[in-house]
Structure 1
Amino acid sequence: MSDTPDTRLWAEFAAICDCGGRQSGTASERAAVALLDRLGRAATGVAPQVLETAYDGWRAIEASVTDAAGQVLPATALLRSAPTPDDGLALELIDLGRGTAADFAAQAGAIAGRAVMVRHELMFCADTVHRRLKYGWALAHGAAAFIIVGPDEGSSVAGSSGRGGEAGIPAIGIAPETARQLLAGQAGPVPIRLTLLTEEAPALAPNLIFDMPGGTAESPGDRKEWVVLSAHLDGHALGESAIDNASGCAVALAVARALAPGMAERRRGLRLAFFNVEEWALTGSADYVARLSPQDRAAIALNVNLDSVAGGSRLTALTSGFAGIEPMLQGCADRVGLPLGLHRPLQRNSDHANFAEAGIPAFRLVAGFGEPEARTRHLLTRFDTRQIVAPQALEEARALAQAICETALDAPPEDAANWRA
């Protein structure tokens, strides 16, 4: 890597982690918003637009599961889960293993009225069966509750339940040892009691948007264009949400700080966006994109979305079907001397998906894609803390993201037009 490392990158990453897990609607998230407002102003030299997004405010009060012997075991409520009655819900549990469509089909006649247990999978693999799909299949088969087993001994797993506006079913995450205890010595359906108490009320979440205009349009009448550099600021109650996504926020700040002094010489402007309620089905960025006029959408040349950019052996760009951006991305990786994977099919696993579905060239930069043993496997568990992040990984992500943004800011119109291919 040929450019100068950012000496504040690790300190700002650690400060974001200090806020805690940053689940939207909590004191932790509010602390992160205040911190990123302050750090964003310092990095860009401008005050943010604060765009509030309405969402279904939700919080868990209590979550547990009781085994056949009456022992109460810990659990984590999945985001937006439906509650049980106050005294819990007595159920029979069936284990569907991984929880693929075939697994559900094989047990189709045994699911209705019971709790189903499935396994969490690394989100960053092409063949991943996402948790929300499994929840949807459980709902469609008439399950009364949904239980997902995390990847790490000693930690349950968090994440979105997949529930939208429907009534839904109670959904919890548990640790592998809890799953073993629930199933121990039992043949066939296992009696359990699930307790999950929640509160819900409409809420607002702030997105922070820092605009640094470019200064070299072809003529005074030319449309001003933008490169949107985004990272989601919210996370989960477990751990520090360090990889997901303090890493992306810290790298975005470092890129903006490096580029801010020369923006007057750039063809396009740089828009630094910290989106909220990403863990609520990408709600913050969906609201932002929905508010854009057709002209505003056309003026965005590229969305560079940084989400979980540490924790693997290399970075991968999920290019959302926009093959035209891949040569530019590969060229930037070659210049900074870093390997870069490319995965073209659209994956709706972060905020870039809302830009892509609106016809805006967009990609997600992510670490650990296709690496089951990478440290990204600890996402959504209590082990997602700064201790599993290497400072060098953040610096490499910063160097690549900065090279991409620099290229995108100054690319000729004909090159930018090819990105939409």
Structure 2
Amino acid sequence: MTLAAFLGRVAADAALAEDFAAICDTGGRLQGSASAARGFALMAERMAAIGPVSDEPTPYAGWTCHEARLTDLASGRDLACAPLLGAAATPPEGLVLDTLDCGRGAPGAYGEAAGRAVLARHEYPFAAWTVHRRVKLNAAAEAGAAAFLIVQPEPGVGPVSGSSGRGGGEGIPALGISAEAGALLAEGRRVRVTLRGEDHAATTPTLVLDLPGRSEDRVVLSAHLDGHPLGESAIDNGTGLAAALCLARAAAPFVPDCPRGLTLCVFGAEEWALAGSRAWLAALPAERRARMAVNINLDSIAGGSSLTALTSGFAGLGPFLRDAAAAVGLPLRTHLPLMTNSDHANFAAQGIPAARLVSGFDEPGSALRYLLTAADTRAVVPVQELKAATITAGALLWAALSAPPEALAALPSAR
């Protein structure tokens, strides 16, 4: 039972590339779509080959878009757009509005937004300086904007997608648009915004593979399956899913002798403001949550030149993970402040030490800039880069599985 033997299994696992390709083959995996159903079926099959798998269905505020259209009235041309998930509907005939360019769109930029369709720029999502899309949308709505248009900054990529975070509540119509559409509308145009969406109750699968160790405690390895229909959701999050399968396969023979067991969770409705994992964790018996020693969340782990662990405000978790990577000569960056940009945030909210492993942090030129667009395909993920990231994730997982109890006991209090 050695770290070298475990990482050797990870490095030799030819199925990593095969799994990644098969996951991408299922499509963008928009929650509630046939593509997502194919993805969950594939993951359930792959996980069942490792050990016993259960599906723990989880409720979330579902939404189906029947029509999304943005029409420039001067030319009569429909502009490329994508609805933000769960966004509020317009009247059937749409809304005729004047556009207002609010630049970056950070809070405070919407002083003249009342009654208009406001434009805000989409930002690289993985940087300390980023203002999240939903922060901008909420600020626009509070300022009285009638619609929100978030602009993909890079030409030739098409519109950007994302979640509105509305969850069936109050809100305004919201669309992602392309850089080209944004350049046109920034001039000040009159547009018709048409968004026909239907709110409904829904459930997402939550796939759980549990491998017992020597105690009842568990390390939770997690990854989300759902994505967006514009591409293959390859970086976000085919990379995390394929790596999670590889690590579970490699760990399975060793876990029975480890101080704690391994639980692999595959979540849905992550792109819906993290709704799936939030509801799943909230519904668990308190004693089951109390046995979760640490969460390692794999989300978008390839596409950049470096890996960063977002350690959710747990001061001791960064040094623990950096030491785990350094023990096998691997670099790892850490970012301490909580970032609520993946399922790790819901574990942290429950007091469970949680980290998201992500590629490309503070690298705005990396392939991570293609997330939420049609360019998020397997073509931008070199297989060797995915393998290297999986090996690093393996070093972190092994440390969490094998560390003496006192090494993990201090983590929840060091926040």
| Structure-2-length-normalised TM-score | 0.95
In structure 1, give the amino acid aligned to 2:278.
A
SS in 1 for 2:407: helix
Question: 1:220 maps to what in 2?
Answer: none
Task: Indicate whether 1:182 and 2:185 are aligned.
Answer: yes
Question: Retained in 2: the 8 A contact 1:267–1:409?
Answer: yes
Alpha-carbon distance in structure 1 between the residues aligned to 2:151 and 2:137:
13
Deviations 1:272-311 (A, max 9, x none): 0001100111111111211223322221110000000001
Question: 2:173 maps to what in 1?
Answer: 170
Which segments of structure 1 move beyond 4 Å, counting only runs of 4 or more? none
Deviations 1:246-278 (A, max 9, x none): 100000000000000122211111000001100
Question: Retained in 2: the 8 A contact 1:336–1:399?
Answer: no
Question: 1:138 maps to what in 2?
Answer: 140
Question: 2:256 maps to what in 1?
Answer: 264
SS in 2 for 1:113: coil
Question: 2:46 maps to what in 1?
Answer: 39
SS in 1 for 2:109: helix
Alignment of 1:20-419 (within 5 A): 20-42=27-49, 44-46=50-52, 48-67=53-72, 68-104=74-110, 108=111, 110-154=112-156, 155-183=158-186, 186=187, 189-214=188-213, 216-217=214-215, 224-419=216-411
Alpha-carbon distance in structure 1 between the residues aligned to 2:395 and 2:104:
40
CA displacement at 1:166 relative to structure 2 = 2.2
In structure 2, give the amino acid aligned to 1:128.
T
Alpha-carbon distance in structure 1 between the residues aligned to 2:245 and 2:154:
31
Alpha-carbon distance in structure 2 between the residues aligned to 1:247 and 1:209:
18
Question: Retained in 2: the 8 A contact 1:152–1:378?
Answer: no
Question: Retained in 1: the 8 A contact 2:309–2:333?
Answer: yes
Deviations 1:1-21 (A, max 9, x none): 973332110110010000000
In structure 2, give the amino acid aligned to 1:212.
L
Gaps of 5+ in 1: 218-223
CA displacement at 1:234 relative to structure 2 = 0.5
Question: Retained in 2: the 8 A contact 1:50–1:206?
Answer: yes
Alpha-carbon distance in structure 2 between the residues aligned to 1:115 and 1:181:
13
Question: Retained in 2: the 8 A contact 1:228–1:273?
Answer: yes
In structure 2, give the amino acid aligned to 1:38.
E
Question: Retained in 2: the 8 A contact 1:39–1:253?
Answer: yes
Alpha-carbon distance in structure 2 between the residues aligned to 1:151 and 1:15:
30
Alpha-carbon distance in structure 2 between the residues aligned to 1:45 and 1:160:
33
CA displacement at 1:402 relative to structure 2 = 1.3
CA displacement at 1:111 relative to structure 2 = 1.0
Alpha-carbon distance in structure 2 between the residues aligned to 1:149 and 1:346:
26
Gaps of 5+ in 2: none
| Structure-1-length-normalised TM-score | 0.93
Question: 1:13 maps to what in 2?
Answer: 20
Alpha-carbon distance in structure 1 between the residues aligned to 2:12 and 2:96:
56
The number of residues matched between the two structures is 404
Alpha-carbon distance in structure 2 between the residues aligned to 1:73 and 1:331:
50
SS in 1 for 2:99: strand
